[in-house]
Amino acid sequence: MTPATLPTIAITLGEPAGIGVDIVLMLARENFPLRLVVIGSIDLLRQRATLLGIKVELIAVTLQDIIPPHCPNQLFVINIPLNAEVTPGVLNPANAEYVLNTLRAAAIVAVHGLFDAIVTAPVHKGIINAAGVSFSGHTEFFAALTNTPQVVMMLATGKLSVALVTTHVPLAQVSALITPARLESVIRVLYTDLQRKFALNAPRILVCGLNPHAGENGHLGREEMEVIIPVLEKCRAEGMVLIGPVAADTAFTDASLTGIDAVLAMYHDQGLIPLKQRGFGEAVNITLGLPIIRTSVDHGTALELAGTGQAKPNSLRAALHSAATMVLRQQQKETRHAMDTM
pLDDT tens digits, the chain, 342 residues: what are they? 455 578 999 999 999 999 999 999 999 999 999 999 999 999 999 999 999 999 999 999 998 888 999 999 999 999 999 999 999 999 999 999 999 999 999 998 888 888 999 999 999 999 999 999 888 888 888 998 889 999 999 999 988 999 999 998 899 999 999 999 999 999 999 999 999 999 899 999 999 999 999 999 999 999 999 999 999 999 999 999 999 999 999 999 999 999 999 999 999 999 999 999 998 888 999 999 999 999 999 999 999 999 999 999 999 999 999 999 999 888 777 666 555 665
How many structural domains does the chain have? 2
Q: Are residues 1 and 137 in the same domain?
A: yes
- Cβ-proximal residues to 342 (8 Å cutoff; 6+ apart), any chain: none
Quote the distance between the C-alpha of residue 158 and its chain's center: 15
Indicate the burial class of 15 (C-beta count within 10 angstroms; 0-12, 13-18, 19 or more): buried
Q: Are residues 211 and 317 in the same domain?
A: no
Q: Are residues 109 and 53 in the same domain?
A: yes
Q: Are residues 295 and 276 in the same domain?
A: no
Please tell me whether 333 is known to bind a ligand.
no
For 327, the domain range is: 1-148+290-341
Q: Which of 263, 288, 313 is the last residue of a domain?
A: 288
Please tell me whether 70 is known to bind a ligand.
no
- Which pLDDT does position 282 carry in this prediction? 87
Q: Are residues 172 and 217 in the same domain?
A: yes
- Which pLDDT does position 168 carry in this prediction? 86
Please tell me whether 276 is known to bind a ligand.
yes
Please tell me whether 213 is known to bind a ligand.
yes
CATH number for the domain spanning 22: value is: 3.40.718.10
Give DSSP secondary structure letters for 95-108.
GHHHHHHHHHHHHH
Q: Are residues 107 and 11 in the same domain?
A: yes
- Which pLDDT does position 336 carry in this prediction? 63
Q: Are residues 107 and 190 in the same domain?
A: no
Please tell me whether 268 is known to bind a ligand.
yes
Q: Are residues 178 and 260 in the same domain?
A: yes
Q: Are residues 252 and 318 in the same domain?
A: no
Indicate the burial class of 104 (C-beta count within 10 angstroms; 0-12, 13-18, 19 or more): middle
Q: Are residues 283 and 222 in the same domain?
A: yes
Q: Which of 288, 305, 333 is the last residue of a domain?
A: 288
Angle, CA of 80, 296 and 267, to the nearest 5°: 130
pTM exceeding 0.75? yes
Q: Are residues 178 and 311 in the same domain?
A: no
Please tell me whether 285 is known to bind a ligand.
yes
Q: Are residues 260 and 193 in the same domain?
A: yes
